[in-house]
A = this chain, B = another copy of it.
Amino acid sequence: MSFAYTTQRILEIVGDDAEFSGEYIGEIAGIASLAEAMAGDLSFLGNPKYRDAVASSAASVLLLPRDYTETPKAGQLQIKLDNPSYALALLCRDMERSLQPLPAPGVHPTAFIDVDAIVSPAASIGPFCCIGKGAVVGAAVLEAHVCVGKYANVGDESHLFSQVVIGDYCVIGERNRLHPGCVIGSDGYGYEFIDGAHQRVPQIGNVVTEADVDVGANTAIDRARFGSTVIGAGTKIDNLVQIAHNVRIGKHCLIIGQSGISGSTELGNGVVLAGQAGVAGHLKIGDGAMIAGGAGVPHSLEPNAKVRGPTGEPMMLYNRIMVLQRRLPDLFKRFDKLEKSVESLPECGTIE
């Protein structure tokens, strides 16, 4: 995984309004944090709190904000910009394209495509992919071992990594990025207890992901009982997340690793569900709500609510409770003492 960027090339990417200080002759062969960078690396100051780490960084090229005024070391080039983080992102994007170029269009000879499927000539279909009857695949990239079920649809410019499974009738929007092992369109979990056994309730709906949705590795999104489980445009789902049947997620939500959403719950737009959080079923979570890591949410939330803890308490209250909890051992002791003091008062008589 090596790349070599001349300072010339870096300047082309970050734009021509940068200011310079110092000089570095040679190529950049790595990117690293200020503390970890070595000679030959590029580093950057994105968060002001690391400002002190710039002076001691061994990086050869530094992306810095315009108000940084210390002088560079010998052999070190400072590039000053309005937004060093954005400049870094531009650089990384360029490197990503060179490290992981999109595969050329075409169908790998080992892939199996049903005769009744329609695959865009601009699509790239990798080894051992399997595309079912009636499926429609746009100008997308399917890496190895991807399964696209019957009558499923994959939008243009989507990228399905290895071993993604798209269930029958599911619809993947444009520019989705689906990571390895994620499953879109498994059966919803629905049973009725009849005659002493759990009878499966048929799940005849599908999953619809709108444009620009990302889904993490080994995440599972269940098909609806009927109708659709919907993931709104621009929503980004992390690894190992569970999305149950008939959930409807709004636009631009962040659903972070190992969190889970139970059946029929609706999330508004811009909701953030942090890692390992869980939301019960049949709830409405308002726009912009933030659910802290590990929280359990048993009730609906107003827009912009911020909750934490296993019963989804308001964040400020929960934090306060956590502080007071640590004082419980002391409180119990003080209480016992106070109780005795009061009991010993002649006026109080026996406090039973």
Chain A residues within CB distance 8 Å of chain B: 1, 30-33, 36, 85-86, 89, 92-93, 95-96, 99-100, 108, 110, 112, 126-128, 130, 143-145, 147, 149-151, 161-163, 165, 167-169, 177, 179-181, 183, 186-187, 189, 191-192, 194, 196-206, 212, 214, 216-220, 222, 225-227, 234, 236, 238-240, 242, 244, 252, 254, 256-258, 260, 262, 275-276, 278, 280, 293-294, 296, 298, 309-311, 313, 317, 320-322, 324-329, 331-332, 334-335, 337-339, 341-342, 345-348, 351
Contacts and interface: CB of A to CB of B under 8 A. Distances in A.
Contacts of A298: 293
A302 to B, nearest CB: 17
Contacts of A342: 338, 341-342, 348
10 contacts: A1-B206, A112-B127, A165-B180, A180-B186, A239-B242, A293-B298, A325-B328, A334-B335, A338-B342, A338-B351
Contacts of A236: 189, 191, 198, 200
B191 A163 contact: no
Contact of A151 (B1, B89, B128): B1
Given A335-B331, A338-B351, A346-B347, A92 B165 contact: no
